Structure 1
Amino acid sequence: MTVTALLGFAGLCLLLAITPGPDTFLVLRYGLVSVSSGVASAAGSALGSLFWAAAVALGLSAFLQTSASAFFVVKVAGGLYLLYLGLIGFRQSQALVSADPDLGGVPPKTGPALRAGLFSCVLNPKVGLFFLAVVPQFLPADAVGFGTIMTLGLIDGVVAFGWLVLVTVAASKAVLWLRRPKVTRLLDRTSSAILALLGIGTLATTV
């Protein structure tokens, strides 16, 4: 693959990454809790990109495109998971206060944030269809193989991770700057509400 093709693909991935979506709001919610949680969620999303790259290379994504029932199942699962994350966010909004060292709290573990980012991406069939539709446009005819596709998946994961980490840092800095528990809880609940609405919207399109 040429450097121009790789840069072009990376630029496209960046444009898609900065477009607000489930991963962005999920990372924002965890970033409001702590930087480590936000970064973990971003890492999970990046791993999800590698999963879909592998799925394209193995033909699984093409199966989703041709099988209406399989696509339906994955889409419903993704919508329910987003709705679950949104509802859990409301219940855990108090964690934004307890996670603040100045208030005597203990920062939350990063495991749940990593899993949330991973499952949010893996259960989003639109990511798989993106890889299926876009990746072949950047593949040279003489180098269509698992390794080449995974290279593009790695680029997408790295670009998405970098952008989401910036979102995490920005959210964390905003919390540190404001230092107002009511405001941070409001922001967390807002991002949780958006996640829930995205889940409801996903489920509504399956009806």
Structure 2
Amino acid sequence: MTLSLLLSFVGLCILLSITPGPDSFLVLRFSIVDARPGIAAALGSALGGIVWAVVVAAGVAALLEQSATAYRTLKVVGGIYLVYLGIRALLEHRKQRRTANAAGTGPPAGHLSTGEPTSIRSAFAAGLVSCMFNPKVGLFYLAVLPQFLTDVTFLNTLALGAIECTVAAVEMILLAVLASRAVAMLRRPQVRDRLEQISAAILAALGIGTAASAA
């Protein structure tokens, strides 16, 4: 692979990483109160991308391109998972607000909108599952990576996949940190509550759109 092709691929990855998608909104969702779960979700999504890169490099992802049923099934499952995350966040947010109102206090610092302690593990798992059940990631690797390779081998394909995942991880980590700091500057409960509701609704809407498009 030539240097010019490598630089072109990195540039493409940067452009794609700044385009909002399900993973970005998921990271934003976890970053509203604390950057750490957002960073964990970003790393989970990046690991999911690595898994797709391995699958594509092994040639298994070609099955998704050839089987419309397999593609739709994976897409529906991923969409349902995003809907689940969004609805659960909205319901838990309402529950937490009712509890806070009954106690006469606001949500404690260091907690997610669910009213439960921030879970780095659950945020990481959510990012991983969201990416792994997004067939567009695998098809992107399958369609785009070979265009930047003069010699298509397992290691070369995996290397490009690792580059793309690294770029995406850096972008989402920056998003998590910036979102957390922005919310830290806007400590008014009304603003925070609105951001939490909007991010949860966006996740649910993305999931519905993903599942519906599979039809």
What is the TM-score normalised by the length of structure 1? 0.91
2:197 aligned residue: 189
Tell me if structure 2 keeps the 8 A contact 1:37–1:108.
yes
2:163 aligned residue: 155
1:123 aligned residue: 133
Distance 1:97 1:161 in 2: 29
2:124 aligned residue: 114
Matched, 1:60 2:60: yes
Counterpart residue type for residue 88 of structure 2: I
Matched, 1:11 2:29: no
Distance 1:137 1:181 in 2: 49
Q: How many percent of aligned residue pairs carry the same amino acid? A: 51
Give the RMSD, CA atoms, in angstroms. 1.8
With over 3 angstroms needed to count, the CA separation of the structure-2 counterparts of 1:61 and 1:108, relative to structure 1, is same
Matched, 1:76 2:39: no
Secondary structure at 2:32's aligned position in 1?
A: helix
Distance 1:148 1:206 in 2: 31
Counterpart residue type for residue 119 of structure 1: V
1:107 Cα deviation from its structure 2 partner: 4.9
Tell me if structure 2 keeps the 8 A contact 1:99–1:108.
no
2:210 aligned residue: 202
1:87 aligned residue: 87
2:107 aligned residue: 97
Counterpart residue type for residue 147 of structure 1: L
Pairing partner for 1:165 from 143, 160, 173:
173
Distance 1:70 1:53 in 2: 18
Tell me if structure 2 keeps the 8 A contact 1:99–1:106.
no
Superposed, 1:37-52 pairs within 5 Å as 37-52=37-52
Q: Which is further off, 149-158 or 3-12?
A: 3-12
Distance 2:64 2:2 in 1: 30
Distance 2:110 2:122 in 1: 18
Aligned pair count?
Answer: 202
Counterpart residue type for residue 133 of structure 2: L
Secondary structure at 1:97's aligned position in 2?
A: coil
What is the TM-score normalised by the length of structure 2? 0.88
Gaps of 5+ in 2: 98-105
1:188 Cα deviation from its structure 2 partner: 1.4
Counterpart residue type for residue 185 of structure 1: D
Which structure has the larger Rg over C-alpha atoms?
2
Tell me if structure 2 keeps the 8 A contact 1:53–1:149.
yes
Tell me if structure 2 keeps the 8 A contact 1:31–1:38.
yes
Tell me if structure 2 keeps the 8 A contact 1:98–1:107.
no
1:130 Cα deviation from its structure 2 partner: 0.6
With over 3 angstroms needed to count, the CA separation of the structure-2 counterparts of 1:206 and 1:106, relative to structure 1, is closer
